[in-house]
Amino acid sequence: MAEPPENPDKKRRGLGRGLSALFEDEEPYPATPDSGDDTPAPKGVRKTLNIAQIEPNATQPRQFFDEDALKELAESIGRHGVLQPLVVRQKDGFPDQYQIVAGERRWRACQIAQVHEIPVVIQSLNDEEVLEIALVENLQREDLNPLEEAEGYRNLIDRFGHSQEEVAAYVGKSRSHVANQVRLLTLPPGVRGLVRDGKLSAGHARALVTAHNPDALAKKIVEEGLSVRQTEALAGAELGRKPKDKTDSPGKATSAKKDADTLALEREVSNALGMKVSISLKNGTSGTLSVEFQNLEQLDEILHRLSHYPGSKVSG
């Protein structure tokens, strides 16, 4: 895990702040007129830039932009101008070039509307802060598809050493939500394409993560218009699970009501242990986790793993 920063507050100042907080940073500073030369503008001020001075940031989570929505925005900008400035940062080594932190849709719409001057707020942000702010902004506006969201989480985890718990806290989601979204990236390209196109929901996709043949199941789901529950049953049948019987014991009856996230966690832990695992939630925050073993060797394996876990007090 990455070493903690010397000043955590400074490192994380962009997390969860949103655009309103970024604009608050620049309020003490007056707007500055364009100097006409290559002198970089002071940080945290409003400025008007030529559209050619601005470029998108390749690490931003959002990759899909609806063309019809962009045309509508372009028409609005053509009539009323850009009402909200873009947030940008100076590009390293290029004093008169800037990268977009927030506002790529407006930048793209300006190109369609042939608007050449764009108001911006210039901020001093590192790569991590840019990714975090872009991810939070898009999540707040529900602009990301499930895979773009998953890629954003994975970047924060892999590139910057954050744990799933930290990412979840930053974006206001549960740890299980973050974990389940990231699992979608393990699906084959064809299934991910259906998710990007909106033909499969995140719930459908999560049910296919542990399937033996997710491509074939995905095709069947789309062709037959199956619900998430039907998809979970289909994926379970492919893995050899028996369908739930409502006349079974109360414990089995309640398992049929489990949501897709809980079922995905059960599958993940079951695959890791090689044994059937059941998770039962009482009120959304507490519950029980049970592991079914078939013989004494499996029981011994569970006890061995527990006894060798760091800090364990289980005798093995």
Q: What angle do CA 127, 131, 133 make, to 5 degrees?
A: 115
Instruction: Judge whether 235 lies within some domain.
Output: no
Token duo for residue 9? 């507050």
Element (H, E) at 118: strand 117-122
Residue 82: partners with Cβ closer than 8 Å, 6 or more residues away: 106, 110, 115, 118, 119
CB 254 within 8 A of CB 280: yes
Task: Say what the pLDDT of residue 292 is.
Answer: 83
Report the catalytic residues.
104
Instruction: Judge whether 41 lies within some domain.
Output: yes
Instruction: Judge whether 56 lies within some domain.
Output: yes
Query: In the listed set 113, 131, 149, which residue is the last one of a domain according to the structure?
Result: 131
Instruction: Judge whether 309 lies within some domain.
Output: yes
Instruction: Judge whether 123 lies within some domain.
Output: yes
Torsion angles phi and psi, residue 97, rounded to 5? -120, 145
Nearest Cα residue to 205 out of 152, 261, 255, 153: 261
The whole domain housing 107 covers 8-131
Token duo for residue 243? 């369908």
Query: In the listed set 80, 100, 131, which residue is the last one of a domain according to the structure?
Result: 131
Query: In the listed set 87, 108, 131, which residue is the last one of a domain according to the structure?
Result: 131
Instruction: Judge whether 155 lies within some domain.
Output: no
Instruction: Judge whether 271 lies within some domain.
Output: yes
Element (H, E) at 100: strand 94-102
Instruction: Judge whether 171 lies within some domain.
Output: no
Please give the average pLDDT of every successive group of 10 residues along the chain, which has 316 residues: 41 42 39 43 73 85 76 88 88 88 87 91 85 74 79 84 85 85 92 91 89 92 91 83 49 55 81 80 78 74 69 51
Element (H, E) at 266: helix 260-273
In 10 A of CB 186, how many CB atoms? 12
Nearest Cα residue to 136 out of 109, 161, 101: 101
The three-state secondary structure class of 33 is coil
Task: Say what the pLDDT of residue 110 is.
Answer: 92
Residue 10: CA count within 13 A, CB half-sphere: 6
Give the domain CATH number at 114: 3.90.1530.10
Task: Say what the pLDDT of residue 25 is.
Answer: 40
pTM for the model stands at 0.53
Number of separate domains in the chain: 2
